Amino acid sequence: MTSETPLALAPATGAADLPSITVTLSQLAKMIDHSLLHPTMTDDDVRAGLAVAKECNVATACVKPYHVPLAVQELAGSDVQVCPVIGFPHGNSTTEIKVLEADAAAAAGGSEIDMVVNIGKVLSGDWDYVAREIRLINEAVQKHGAILKVIFENDYLQDEHIVRLCTICSDLDVAFVKTSTGYGFVKQPDGAYNYKGATVPHLKLMRQHAKPSVQIKAAGGVRTLDDLLHVMSLGVTRIGATATVAILDQARARGITNVPTTVTFKPIQGATATSGGY
């Protein structure tokens, strides 16, 4: 990557009022879990996506469990990690099956494991069940040297549920708490389905109530460089994205290099419905 002096930002109306952040291109890439989770993705689609993850040198490629061996093979020779998902996307499997799935995924080469909580149990307030499940899955992956990210699926939850989950995950020393799967569609009064994914209020709430050692992953709706810079400013250290190439191309176009570069960003506006799937 180039180390030349960053390009100056073009003046714009109100630009002086925009927030700013100092970043590098490699730092942005390592913020990204490149998502390869859509149910229609073929093996060839996943191979192409893994090539993108490797070329962009992101943090991880996020894959379905049966694609772990393929991801390990295709990412060999890079420092891009393999991130399988467990109980995805609805978290409905029994604890025993989720533990088995997580153990197998970590044993096969998954170094970061993203699990979905049992959403019905969260909404039922069965916190002993929820905490036990997270603990057992965390123990299963840690014995292989892997780390755990716990997906809340915030669209289905109230603030009190999110706060309680942050407390449980903090008590259990999980590595990350994560907003969404990207597939948590909520039925609206008119019969349509949509979802919000990662929202600024929820990210602030999670950062406030998860202890400092527990990192925050924003997934669902972070699709532009401005979105990424904004969530970084809130304390987010990882995002799930399919728009990886577009985000990094936008960064280069804004003059971001591997020399620390200060850029302004347009804050995320009000929560709006999106098309899902990150």
What confidence tens digit (pLDDT) does each residue in 40-70 have?
Answer: 999 999 999 999 999 999 999 999 999 999 9
Q: What are the extents of the domains in the chain? A: 15-264
Share of the chain above pLDDT 70, in %: 91
pLDDT of residue 4: 36
pLDDT of residue 278: 56
- One-letter identity of residue 106: A
Whole-structure pTM value: 0.90
β-pair partners for 194: 186
Query: Could you give the residue numbers annotated as active site?
Result: 114, 178, 217
pLDDT of residue 134: 98
Element spanning 102, H or E:
helix 95-107
- Comparing 188 with 274, which gets the higher pLDDT? 188
β-pair partners for 261: 23
Q: What's the average model confidence in pLDDT over 219-233?
A: 95
- CA-based nearest residue to 41, from 62, 15, 24, 72: 62
Residue 8 pLDDT class (50, 70, 90 cuts): very low
What's 15-264's CATH class? alpha beta
Indicate whether 5 pLDDT > 70: no
